[in-house]
Structure 1
Amino acid sequence: MVGLKLFRTDTTKRGVTEVTPRLAEIEADVQSLVEAHMEMLLGVRFLASEYSTGPVHAGRIDSLGLDENGAPVIVEYKRGVDAGVINQGLFYLAWLMDHRAEFEHLVRDRLGARAAAHVLWGSPRLICIAGDFTRYDVHAVREHRRSIDLVRYQLFGTDLLGLETVASVSGGSPTVRRFRGLPAAAAVDDGQRMALDELAQALDETLLGLGDGVNRVQRKTYRAYQRLRNFACVCPPQKSKLVVYLKVDPKETDLVPGFTRDVTGLGHHGTGDLEVRLRTPRDLDRAQDLFRASYAAA
């Protein structure tokens, strides 16, 4: 949060007081705070803390989790700046890839058999949370082929936590221009299919272009777009439309029949409570504000 200044306003005295940022007293304070609210802060379901890698590797993974798309997540914390946090995390990530059965057993114990059966091993993630990072850290991340997020934290006053993504690199598969597995029963003619493919490509470019650090994760039944957390999930084309789920509160949205729908509590692929249906480029244009709102909230 370099350059960010936070002020507390006092309407009675018509004045402002600067809230000075600070670091945690000890690294464990950051870890315990994030672990207690991991799903809200990172979009990751918490699995284990200080997980032992056994006598051979002789280490402890700060936090283990599973993200919204089923990808394994390692979270490493440092109170301030530490040049070793990325290499340490990558060391544990290599261990994790060699101990998949052990991780799936942990998932099964904590989240159930269904979650364990759908672990996405193609996109394991490393999230490093620290007081700050150097330009060398940012460069190093961009040279790796793993999914790595560098997140800077700051504490303000006694009850405010700030998180900023400094760098984010996706180590998943390269850009997929068409969804795989489009149902043969979709029964659309070549012209309509081509129009939907073009709309899907335009949607992909729109979501990736919302800002830096947007990663795309391909799952069998949907494609997720995420910063730290998912902000959009796109399902494969359905006959005459694309369906997108966003992290926007439907109760704060003017719902339009046939275009937007509240799916809170309804089962669907991906994540998000607001369903948006896109049939034409015009629909894509009028959904822009919703896309931006969801991106900002992620």
Structure 2
Amino acid sequence: MVGLKLFNLESGVTEVVPRLAEVEADVQNLVEAHMEVMLGVTFLASEYVIGCCDGGRIDSLGLDENGAPVVVEYKRGTDAGVINQGLYYMAWLTAHKDAFRSLVRDRLGAMAASQILWSAPRLICVAGDFTRYDAHAVREHRRSIDLVRYRYYGSDHIGLETVASVTGSPAASWRVRPRAAGGPRVRRRDEGMAELAAAVDETLIGLGEGVTRVQRKQYAAYQRLRNFACVCPPQQTKLLVYLKADPKAVDLVAGFTRDVTGLGHHGTGDLELQLSTARDLERARDLFRISYAAA
């Protein structure tokens, strides 16, 4: 984003010069007020006081679209300590699950508290900038960390750019498993759907840098900062994929695409794809890219 040039075209061509916030609290207050839209995270608490010998306050706590706990830390400019500070708070959080579970229960209800994804807690650092050493450091940690650079443009615009995004632990995808000697023969139909699922996984991961996969029992979520695709386990004859693409902007095709706005389903997204063949995957690629770009 620091290399991005933004121009106002209202009267000629005037460059809109990017700037940092006056104070860190300006960024924090803005993100907390619009956290779901900006980060795909449901806001839970601000300046959360942790109870330990060293003390401290977590800037923001939240729960992402997949039910994973999220710690958000902010810095006005560049601060080499933001990652370590956030990791310290993540360690406290995972060691005090009851405290976080109680917070979720109070804010979102018992159902949300019972479905917290403790296997994939996340740290999101929002700062004016990061160094190349920061981007390297997050890849050395076995944690899910997103480094997000912000810039204000004039008085009406703010930009967010993901500098680095790492998933803490590899998530399994649905792959073809070889038949054990003497074991039951895998049906060709099941094998074909598993191969299709593996091809979809490879396609979604390959859409661009910073794509991470989070595995839940009911679906696998593919995300940048926010989910852009959710893939359910293969069925006998089809694979269901849910995208963040707007169904009203898509020419729906019976048996291939469906508007599921307001309908219950696993994962996130209002556009359902039903994939049965490699040809269906080819047809879906443009929709994958549209959803990726919107995330």
Name the count of aligned residue pairs. Answer: 288
Taking structure 1 as the reference length, the TM-score comes to 0.94
1:176 aligns with 2:181: no
Partner residue in 1 for 2:9? 9
CA distance in structure 2 between the partners assigned to 1:59 and 1:288 by the alignment: 46
1:179 deviation in Å? 9.4
> After superposition, where does 1:95-244 map in structure 2 within 5 Å?
95-178=92-175, 190-244=187-241
Question: Which letter maps to 2:2?
Answer: V
Q: Deviations over 1:57-114 (max 9, x none)?
A: 3100000000000000000000000000000000000000110011000000000000
Cα displacement (A) at 1:17: 1.1
Q: CA deviation at 1:176?
A: 3.2
Question: Which residue is equivalent to 1:76?
Answer: 73
Aligned residue runs from structure 1 range 209-288, under 5 A: 209-288=206-285
Say whether the 8 Å CA contact 1:23–1:131 is kept in structure 2.
yes
Matches within 5 A, 1:18-57: 18-57=15-54
Superposition deviation, residue 189 in structure 1: 6.9
> 2:7 and 2:292 mapped to 1: Cα distance?
25
Task: Write out per-residue CA displacement over residues 251-283 of structure 1, whole angstroms, 9 at most, x where no aligned residue.
Answer: 111111110000000010000000001000000
Asked if the contact 2:259–2:272 (Cα under 8 Å) also holds between the matched residues in 1, the reply is yes
- 1:172 shift after superposition: 2.6
Give the letter aligned to residue 233 of structure 1.
C
Question: SS at the partner of 1:255?
Answer: coil
Q: Separation in 2 of the partners of 1:200 and 1:68?
A: 22
Q: For 1:167-191, what per-residue CA distance to the aligned partner results, in whole angstroms no more than 9, with x for missing partners? A: 00000334434399xxxxxxx9700
Work out the CA distance in 1 between the residues paired with 2:67 and 2:166: 18
| Alpha-carbon displacement from aligned partner over 1:177-223 (angstroms, at most 9, x marks no partner) | 4399xxxxxxx970001110110000000000000111100001011
Q: Is contact 1:124–1:147 with CA below 8 Å preserved after alignment?
A: yes
Tell me how far apart the structure 2 counterparts of residues 54 and 25 of structure 1 sit (CA, whole Å): 31
Which residue pairs with 2:180 in the alignment? none
The one-letter code matched in structure 1 to 2:7 is F
Distance 1:174 1:250, change over 3 A: closer
CA RMSD of aligned residues (A): 1.5
Code of the residue aligned with 1:9 in structure 2: it is: L
The residue identity in structure 2 corresponding to 1:95 is: W
Q: Work out the percentage of aligned pairs sharing the same amino acid.
A: 72
Q: Which residue of 2 aligns with 1:184?
A: none
Tell me, in whole angstroms, the C-alpha distance in 2 between the residues paired with 1:152 and 1:189: 48
Task: Find the aligned partners of 1:118 and 1:129 in 2 and give their Cα distance.
Answer: 27
Which letter does structure 2 place at the counterpart of 1:200? A
**TM-score (ref. length: structure 2):** 0.95
The one-letter code of the counterpart of 2:229 is A
8 Å Cα contact 1:179-1:236 kept in structure 2? no
